[in-house]
Amino acid sequence: MSKIVIIPDDGYVSVNGVGFNKINLSFISANVHAIQWNDTYGEIETRDPTTGKILTNIEITDISPYQAAINSWNTANTAFYKSKANTA
């Protein structure tokens, strides 16, 4: 599968080291600082939304609740490569 990093505050999603900003991640809870996924497992890093202090890392075995972020990354990635093809 993939290595995925999602940082909601930055609107940032990266898949296998290719990242895009300005992705709408408003569906992700305000207490999530980052989500990291490595093939078949990952973790959610939570924080206090008021102070920003990191609170916990929660292990996950299912990335599907964040599939919308991956879909948005796919859209951004496709648009990027189409724009490159149009300038070549």
pTM comes to: 0.90
Report the alpha-carbon distance of residue 49 to residue 25 in Å, rounded. Answer: 15
Report the alpha-carbon distance of residue 24 to residue 2 in Å, rounded. Answer: 21
Q: Find the domain containing 34 and state its range.
A: 3-87
Domain count, the chain: 1
pLDDT tens-place string over residues 24-72: 999 999 999 999 999 999 999 999 988 989 999 999 999 999 999 999 9
**Burial profile 57-88: b = 16 or more Cβ within 10 angstroms, e = fewer:** eeebeebeebeebbebbeebeeeeeeeeeeee
Cβ contacts of 72 within 8 Å, gap of 6 or more: 13, 23, 24, 25
